[in-house]
Chains A and B, each alone.
Chain A
Amino acid sequence: MSAELVATAQRHLAGISLEVVSQGAEAIVFTTETHPYLKTKPALVDNKTKFIVKYRPPKPYRHPRLDSQITRSRTASEAKLLQKLLLLGVDAPRLLAMDGTNGIIWMDFVGFTLEDGTVSSLKNWLWLMERRQEAVPEDHAKSIALGAVAEDIMKRVGAMVAQLHLEGIVHGDLTSSNIMLKASKTNEVERPTLIDFGLSSYSGLAEDRAVDLYVLERALTSTHSVYAKEYNGFLVAGYEAAHKLKGKLGAKACTETLRRLEDVRLRGRKRSMLG
């Protein structure tokens, strides 16, 4: 099944060597070292130029005409959002090319390979910090998973989500896999970057912003249960600080969102009690 979809993608992308990195409900994501229209620069030994191809295959259970309309509009909407974020100066992959008809988006590869061989998503990075911590004595423990670097990253994530929200955009699927860490140019600190804008939309509703925060909170709780509380604390601190920079209006929006977040949490708890 999957092989068939890969073959279809390959047919639309003749001459491009594709490597699967992820298969989700809606899209297959590939990496490639071939740029769609630039001659690939000579590959450096440890830092090969890589690009992402995100492919939304046809859904056989949908009517073909409706399906192609949906594919086209979701592909275009994600591509447009990448461009919007570029203009706003929000860190995100850069759009390189798009084929709406076949559901294909080309973008920059963001992130790098962590020392345990996994991609530098926030999720994998936090895991790595926690695993490192297990390897050291109790009293040193806190300094790794909850140390200054982790705190700084989580605050930056919060600030980045705030930046998005302040522009009236909600991410729509804000999990810790959809946040990548990018090695900064100077290579000293990692910088968070958002990816996967397939479900993003423009919204001025506190409810939608609160749901973004709640989804991330849930994702952190389920994958990093020991430190989730602290991580979420940093996250909210970064979120709040970024809003305060925007004066009264920013502070007001923030209060509204965080108040709504409490409602959303409560609803979530009730729902899980009902099973």
Chain B
Amino acid sequence: MADYEIFSCPQFSNKVLIILFEGVQNNAEIKSELLKGNRDYDYAFVNCDNIASQEQVYSALYKALLDDLLGQTKSKTLHSEIIFDLSPLKNIVESLNKFGISSTSTNIIALKVLSDSQIDNVATYVDNLKQRVKGSVVHFDQANLSRFTNFAQLKKNYKLTNISTEDVEELTRILVGLTQLKGT
């Protein structure tokens, strides 16, 4: 089984590389390289604490790719836009801090938007990422994501503390809606 996934949807020619890492040791280093603008770290790094399902991630990818196509992205790069779209917050920096990589997040989804031509070299991006991120690659699937979800934090960050359910499908429905309505 491939240890990465390529997300695509019919409406967009761009695709997205998805890799899930468990037990990342060097999150502080990654964060600081990101802040320096090191091109080798040109990925979206998402903190798994706030992630309930694959669908939640796909929905944000769709939103970011759509807004990119429409020329309506709000943040500097498409990668920060993806994290911004996952977050219910209006502030981009705050979104990146809470939903992107932080010193406490050890389980991380790395995402990279790839054009048609870049897709041919996907192995390069995968290899590069595996060198930068000190953690083990696990399959991007529901079972692994569920192991990493921190429901208390997720609900706090999405202001859903009044909702008692930990049902992934039910939560996903709400989270998808929040993402799709971002900016309205």
- Which residues of A does B touch, CB under 8 Å? 13-16, 34, 36-38, 76, 79-80, 82-83, 86-87, 94-102
Contacts and interface: CB of A to CB of B under 8 A. Distances in A.
B177 A86 contact: yes
**Which of A38, A97, A98: most chain B Cβ within 10 A?**
A97
A15 B10 contact: yes
B181 A80 contact: yes
Given A83-B177, A94-B173, 19 more contacts: A14-B10, A14-B11, A15-B10, A15-B11, A36-B9, A36-B62, A37-B9, A37-B61, A82-B177, A83-B174, A83-B178, A86-B177, A87-B174, A97-B59, A97-B62, A97-B63, A98-B180, A98-B181, A102-B70
Interface string B171-184: 00110111011001
Interface in B125-184: 173-174, 176-178, 180-181, 184
Contacts, number: 57
Nearest to B66: A99
Contacts of B11: 13-16, 36
A76 B184 contact: yes
A83 B61 CA distance: 19
Interface residues of B, number: 21
Contacts of B42: none
23 contacts: A14-B10, A36-B9, A36-B11, A37-B9, A37-B59, A37-B62, A76-B184, A79-B180, A80-B181, A82-B177, A83-B174, A83-B177, A83-B178, A86-B174, A94-B173, A95-B180, A95-B181, A96-B176, A97-B62, A97-B63, A99-B70, A101-B70, A102-B70
Contacts of A13: 11
Contacts of A15: 10-11
Contacts of B70: 99, 101-102
Contacts of B9: 36-37
A58 B14 CA distance: 27
A95 B63 CA distance: 13
A98 B183 CA distance: 11
Nearest to A15: B10
B99 to A, nearest CB: 18
Nearest to B61: A37
A200 B59 CA distance: 26
B67 to A, nearest CB: 9
Nearest to B178: A83
A79 B178 CA distance: 10
B55 interface: yes
A34 B184 contact: no
Given A16-B10, A100-B184, A95 B55 contact: no
A215 B173 CA distance: 31
A34 B176 CA distance: 17
A95 B177 CA distance: 6
Contact of A34 (B7, B10, B174, B178): B10
Interface in B9-63: 9-11, 55, 58-59, 61-63
A186 to B, nearest CB: 18
B72 interface: yes
Contacts of A96: 176, 180
Nearest to B72: A101
Contacts of B66: 97, 99
Nearest to B179: A97
